[in-house]
Amino acid sequence: MKGVEVCVFSVDDAYAAEAAGCARLELCQDYQLGGITPSLEDLQKMSPTNIVNDVRHGLRVTAVVMVRPRGGDFLYSKREKKWMLTTIKQVAKLGFQGVVLGALLKRNGRWLLDKEFCMQACELSHSLGLEAVLHRAFDEIATPLNAVSEAEECGFDRILTGWGSINMETLKMLKWHAEAIDVLPGGGIRSDNVQYYRDLGFLEVHTSARGAGGQLDIDQLKQMVEVMKGVPL
């Protein structure tokens, strides 16, 4: 993919972002919790396979679905992990292109990638024709370069990270270190700084494109789409 991935939190915003020219959507709900899995009802409305009276009503743009049962940390119980695996199967049945997930373990006060579960989730996703994306649970890990290698081992196709908004040099190192996995920068990317990411060689960026009022800013999103296409503002 080349362009802008937009994180959206409602059905209406999903279709608005699609119309604005985004290249991919990340479907979530509840911005205040940092994004959790949308309701099954909303996913059915947006499903690419949603056809009513011989007319397609679902999304036409590529869309990946957040698989996260709750807000808070990413240390999940067996029950929550089972729910996540079941949700991955539902996402595949609805015709979406991928899932966004992550799980961590805590050892000696430090967060580590839950490699056993993540590998299981990635294998399931790929068996169903879905791509698997590691979300910003990645940013909680104290050794991000090691975590890139571990994410590759687990089978993730892409890492979404906000390291660019924390330490740009770290983001550059992550991009350089990644071999069999893509690094997708997110976190505070807007129309006034997206050109910088493009200049660093990132062909795609992630944004919520939310304005001061917390709503999807369509004008800003369109500007970002144009920048990533190579059209100057």
The pLDDT of residue 87 is 98
Count structural domains, the chain: 1
Q: How confident is the model at residue 212 (pLDDT cuts 50, 70, 90)?
A: confident
Q: What is the model's pLDDT at position 55?
A: 56
Report the candidate in 147, 153, 111, 112 with the shortest Cα–Cα distance to residue 132.
153
pLDDT in the model for residue 23: 96
Between 9 and 211, the more confident residue is 9
**In the predicted structure, residue 231 carries a pLDDT above the cut 80:** no
Q: Measure the CA–CA gap between 118 and 98, rounded to whole angstroms.
A: 14
- Specify the pLDDT at position 214: 81
Predicted confidence (pLDDT) per residue in 78-111, tens digit: 999 999 999 999 999 999 999 999 999 999 999 9
The closest of 231, 163, 233, 224 to 22, measured between CA atoms, is 224
**Spatial CA neighbour of 61 closest among 17, 7, 93, 29:** 17
Residue 57 or 68, more confident: 68
Closest CA to 90 of 33, 139, 41: 41
Structural domain harbouring 149: 3-229
User: Residue 12 belongs to a domain with what CATH number?
Assistant: 3.20.20.380
Mean residue pLDDT of the chain comes to 93
Helix boundaries (H) for the chain = 11-19, 40-46, 78-93, 115-127, 144-154, 168-177, 194-199, 218-229
What pTM value is reported for the model?
0.94
